[in-house]
Amino acid sequence: MSKQTDLTKIMRFINPKTDYAFKKIFGATESKDILISFLNALVYEGNSTIEDLEIINPNLPPQIRGFKDTYLDVKARLNNGVLVIIEMQVLNVQSFGKRVLFNAAKTYSFQLQAGEGYRMLKPVIALTITDFEMFPDQEQMISRFVYREKSEGWYYRDNDIELVFVELPKFTKELDQLETIADKWIYFIKFARSLTSIPENMDDIPELHRAFEIANQADLTAEELEDLERREMFIYDQQGAIALGREEGREEGREEGREEGREEGREEGREEEKRGIARNLLDRLNNQAIAEVTGLSLKAIEELRSRSES
């Protein structure tokens, strides 16, 4: 069968934004070449910087009492020793930025074994793809953060932690406007679920073609497809519930602030906004998820739930 015939077949692709699909496409051992192309495009601006890498277990177990378990989507060690952690985040939860920094710092510090010196530490790059605007006041889609001197801007000597964010909502290019490999990878993540074939202007990159093949639903069992559909529906339900809860909660908070009319009232209004969001999410999310979205404590959520059920 010719390549052109393959391109005209009607296909359906799993959604790369879901945790299962993202790990299946980028995190499997046989996906090493795909991950190299993806990271070179997004982290190294299309340069062939990465020659080889090792995909490793992404979980970071708590080695210190009181530390939380950390779950990443993909983790890799580059041939030069640099560690890259990759996370696809679809929900804009409270303090997500702190979680990204925490995961990067934890990955950096947990490299050392007992008795090893600090010289053994290798740089860490945290690549985070968000399905929401992480920095709504900024226009650029890809943002990179490193340690720099505050007043004059020169770099810290051991600049070993770098944060890279890709905000999908800011990517607005159409299929015929794709220019760089980064454009094509971002388009794949954002729109693969809605495509019915591999676009011709994306099929010239072997790693992208392979990613489409892995994402092809034809290679999944009925049970895997059913599980994916449940995951997608859960994500969409959460996104809708959070958006609705925030909208209604903000209105309650503004009303509270107007009634008080003082700084204390505005502060109380902000707290009431959080509680309003939480109340609107009680029937949709569990306590832990609501706490992450609102920033309220689990105890506060439990009290709200108890009052709503009484």
**94: nearest Cα among 256, 300, 304:** 300
> Per the structure block, which two tokens stand in for 25?
């496409």
* Largest Cα span, the chain: 73
pLDDT band at 122 (very low <50, low <70, confident <90, very high): very high
**129: nearest Cα among 146, 143, 115, 116:** 143
Buried b (16+ CB within 10 A) or exposed e, 104-131: bebbbebeeeeeeeeeebebbbbbbbbb
Residue with tokens 């503004």: 254
- Min mean pLDDT across 74-88, 144-158, 235-249, 268-282 is at 235-249
Kindly state the average pLDDT of the residues 244-256: 62
pLDDT band at 113 (very low <50, low <70, confident <90, very high): confident
> Per the structure block, which two tokens stand in for 131?
């399905």
**41: nearest Cα among 50, 28, 31:** 50
pLDDT tens-place string over residues 166-192: 999 999 999 999 999 999 999 999 999
**39: nearest Cα among 132, 164, 131, 161:** 164
Round the average pLDDT of the chain to a whole number and report it.
82
Residue with tokens 């406007």: 177
pLDDT band at 67 (very low <50, low <70, confident <90, very high): very low
By DSSP bridging, strand 142-145 and strand 74-78 are unpaired
pLDDT band at 246 (very low <50, low <70, confident <90, very high): low
pLDDT exceeds cutoff 70 at 9: no
pLDDT of residue 237: 67
Question: What region does 99 belong to: left with phi over 0, alpha with psi -120 to 50, or beta?
Answer: alpha
pLDDT exceeds cutoff 80 at 193: yes
pLDDT exceeds cutoff 80 at 276: no
Q: Which residue has the higher pLDDT, 191 or 253?
A: 191
pLDDT tens-place string over residues 201-236: 998 899 999 999 999 876 777 777 777 777 777 776
Buried b (16+ CB within 10 A) or exposed e, 226-242: eebeebbeebeebeebb
pLDDT tens-place string over residues 22-58: 988 999 888 899 999 999 999 999 999 999 999 987 6
**268: nearest Cα among 254, 280, 278, 279:** 254
Q: Is 197 exposed, middle or buried (0-12, 13-18, 19+ CB in 10 A)?
A: middle
By DSSP bridging, strand 83-89 and strand 74-78 are antiparallel
- Indicate the helix (H) or strand (E) that contains 88: strand 83-89
Q: Which residue has the higher pLDDT, 62 or 298?
A: 298
Sequence-distant (6+) residues with CB within 8 A of 172 are none
Q: How many CB atoms lie within 10 A of CB 265?
A: 15
